[in-house]
A and B are shown apart, each in its own frame.
Chain A
């Protein structure tokens, strides 16, 4: 497994990085941790003429938690995200989920930005960011724009990001209330058979607000507004959970693969969503 030859660039700032993307057009690809891209290149399923390594771009680093908002630089690794105590207090869902991504070595190198940006439905962060109501900052030759995570994903490896744009940071509100990320996988290092992220707040014994998203159950992450709506105002009892599951099942479109057939995935999706809701509710 040997990749094709490419030219390597390591820009020192964002403007240079975007300049390289502009210069080389669709021959250029940015690389963050590379743990999705490099295997694809080694299998010669991705051809890259110019590889733009973002490791030296300082603007893409760092985590801040301030005034009810969290900002995560695109080049923050999963390990840095897991290790950040302030973030764990502000958005505990992220640590719980990131610990279920890949394995220790991959988490040291794999970045949050790479995970959300490449449009692989197997990645866990996209669904999480939709659940959390995050927005992504895209910077390109034409300037900077903000795109909601919930509107970012169009299809398999197809996202709102243009080829000459770089996803620079992720912004999200501090997440109060109960949370859970439930993921079924065959082993450590595997993508999800099915995974669900749940955020809930509780008021007077009822669900005050809810947000639900799933991973690897469609060619894009699925934020299920209907599933959340089924919970809001309820006591989060069996009937409400059943309604939420039914609503979620209406929004997903899993495909058959080595993890199992569609019928199995739909069933498991319902089971793990039920478990995620129960755990989030217990924490709310």
Chain B
């Protein structure tokens, strides 16, 4: 076992101080130490995106980040997306358009989609497919995921226009 270090993470707005070996993978810190089990482990080689979290404003695969590297980072997970008044529009649209089945990829998928729409609020279907290509789904064939994200974008834009 290696020497442990003190790491500070802000996760979904809450500051956590954890003692961890530097080699600990961020996904394990979140899941095992902080009880944030929304992000999942799928492939462990940064291909599937089930572990996607938002770190300092970027979508990252938490299976390929050492917790030491994340020291000082601001992290948002699926648990941080919904507001006190319920589901985030992306969460609602994934349900509305049947964009999930087993649910295992869904937290990473929605977390990634959230960042995608921050950067590109009016994506084309092709841009959604390209922008979501770091997240694998084994159940849905993606068609309804794409539909859900397009619908979420439309609703978010309509709301913005109304405000």
A39 within 8 A of B: yes
Give the number of residues in B that approach A within 8 Å (Cβ atoms): 31
- Complex formed: what's the CA distance from A166 to B73 in Å? 25
**Number of interface residues, chain A, beta carbon within 8 A:** 29
Residue A55, interface by CB 8 Å: yes
For residue B111, give the distance in angstroms from its CB to the closest CB of chain A.
10
- Tell me if B96 is interfacial: C-beta within 8 Å of chain A: no
Asked if B116 lies at the interface with its beta carbon under 8 angstroms from chain A, I say yes
Partner of A106, one of B21, B23, B44, B134: B134
B3: A residues at CB distance < 8 A: 7
Chain B residue with the shortest CB-CB distance to A187 = B133
A39 CA to B1 CA, complexed, in Å: 19
**Is residue A69 contacting chain B, with contact meaning CB distance below 8 A?**
no
Task: Report which of A2, A53, A106, A109 forms a contact with B68, defined as CB distance below 8 A.
Answer: A53
Residue A51 contacts which of B59, B64, B66, B112 (CB distance < 8 angstroms)? Answer: B66
Q: Are B5 and A104 in contact (CB under 8 A)?
A: no
CB atoms of A51 and B134 under 8 A apart:
no
Closest to B133 in A: A188
B77 within 8 A of A: no
Contact of B46 with A106 in the complex, beta carbons under 8 Å: yes
B45 in contact with A42 (CB, 8 Å): yes
- Give the complex CA separation of A8 and B7 in angstroms: 12
Which residues in B have their C-beta under 8 angstroms from that of A79?
A: 58
Do A5 and B2 form a contact, CB below 8 Å, given A55-B69, A106-B61? yes
From A31, A39, A42, B69 is in contact (CB under 8 Å) with A31
Q: Is B146 an interface residue (CB 8 A)?
A: no
Hey, which chain A residues are within 8 Å of B44, CB to CB?
1, 42
Known: A4-B23, A8-B68, A105-B61. 11 other contacts (CB 8 A): A1-B44, A3-B23, A5-B23, A34-B64, A34-B69, A104-B112, A104-B133, A104-B134, A105-B52, A105-B59, A189-B47
